[in-house]
Amino acid sequence: MRRLEAKRADCAPIAGKSRFNRLELSRPEPTKYLKISHDGTAIEILLVDLFVEAHRQAPRQIVLDLDATDDPLHGHQEGRFFHGYYDTYCYLSLYVTCGRHLLAAKLRRSNIDGAAGAEVELERIVERIRASWPSVGILVRADSGFAHESLMAWCEAHGVDLVLGLAGNKRLAQEIEWHMARAEAESQRTGEPLQGLPTHDTQELEPPSSRHRQGRMDTRRGQSRFIVTMASGCPSQLAFREAHARLEAAARR
């Protein structure tokens, strides 16, 4: 990778791989042997600022996707661990995206929970976005690995809507057992598969919560999937339907 020229007049040329390595090993203040320094906070903020600058006007609602994925290792890199789910030695990176825009990328060891640090990143990103777009609606979307009480409580406290996958269990399966049997009987009667028949259950919490559990059934596969949703205001129904569809597509893969 050679050095790239910057397109903006107020930017220095983009560095090559050797300079990136020196940047990774640098300190906040340059030293005799480490002459390159960096401002980590400014780098994190830059991704969000570029996202905001890419819009001519504030959108009505945005969807933030959280994802933890493997970064396979092929040597004895520092901090390497074997991850049982991915069946390899890897890092477990955390990404926050909005459409095609990358808002955060954290390289992490893989001996941690996949959702570790998600609240910290969301808090930083949401605060920065709302500083420019105070009235924008924000919907967080993620798979069941992020369905933690702490993350849901943070979203609830900060007026952030969410759609999260929810790991199934015997109790949840029992809650939709009657609906699943009815759907299968209807499917056999008509000869057509039934898919996406929802059942809703409001979670009774103290204090009262706006969270809802939802089970969705697919008679073609004999499967049921669950999600938890929360709407603090008047979110776009299209965004919620799209979020449901993407989570279900990911569950089927």
Choice between 240 and 178, residue whose per-residue pLDDT is larger: 178
What's the chain's average pLDDT?
77
The contacts of residue 51 (CB under 8 Å, 6+ apart) are 98, 101, 103, 129
Query: Average of pLDDT values for 190-198?
Result: 60
Please report, rounded to a whole number, the percentage of residues in the chain having pLDDT higher than 70: 67
Q: Cα(248)–Cα(78) distance, rounded to whole angstroms?
A: 36
pTM recorded for the entire structure: 0.74
Query: Average of pLDDT values for 170-176?
Result: 72
Query: Average of pLDDT values for 104-127?
Result: 94
Q: Cα(40)–Cα(207) distance, rounded to whole angstroms?
A: 38
User: Residue 204: pLDDT band by 50, 70, 90 thresholds?
Assistant: very low
The predicted structure's pLDDT at residue 208: 46
The predicted structure's pLDDT at residue 170: 75
Query: Average of pLDDT values for 93-108?
Result: 94
Question: What 3-state class would DSSP assign to 34?
Answer: coil
Q: Are the C-beta atoms of 128 and 48 separated by less than 8 Å?
A: yes
Sequential DSSP letters for 136-202: -EEEEEE-GGG--HHHHHHHHHTT-EEEEEE---HHHHHHTHHHHHHHHHHHHHHSS--EEEEEEEE
Label residues 13-25 b or e (16+ Cβ within 10 Å = b): eeeeeeeeeeeee
Of 5-9, 104-108, 171-175, 233-237, the poorest mean pLDDT is in 233-237
The predicted structure's pLDDT at residue 235: 47
| pLDDT 10s digits, 58-100 | 999 999 999 999 999 988 888 999 999 999 999 999 999 999 9
Of 72-86, 130-144, 237-251, the poorest mean pLDDT is in 237-251
Structure tokens at 129: 């976005």
Please report, rounded to a whole number, the percentage of residues in the chain having pLDDT higher than 90: 39
The predicted structure's pLDDT at residue 34: 72
Task: Answer whether residue 219 shows pLDDT above 50.
Answer: no
Choice between 120 and 178, residue whose per-residue pLDDT is larger: 120
Choice between 29 and 137, residue whose per-residue pLDDT is larger: 137
- Please identify which residue in the block is written with the tokens 């808090």: 123
Query: Average of pLDDT values for 183-190?
Result: 72
User: Residue 11: pLDDT band by 50, 70, 90 thresholds?
Assistant: low
Query: Average of pLDDT values for 180-204?
Result: 61
The contacts of residue 191 (CB under 8 Å, 6+ apart) are none
| pLDDT 10s digits, 44-53 | 899 999 999 9
Query: Average of pLDDT values for 185-192?
Result: 72
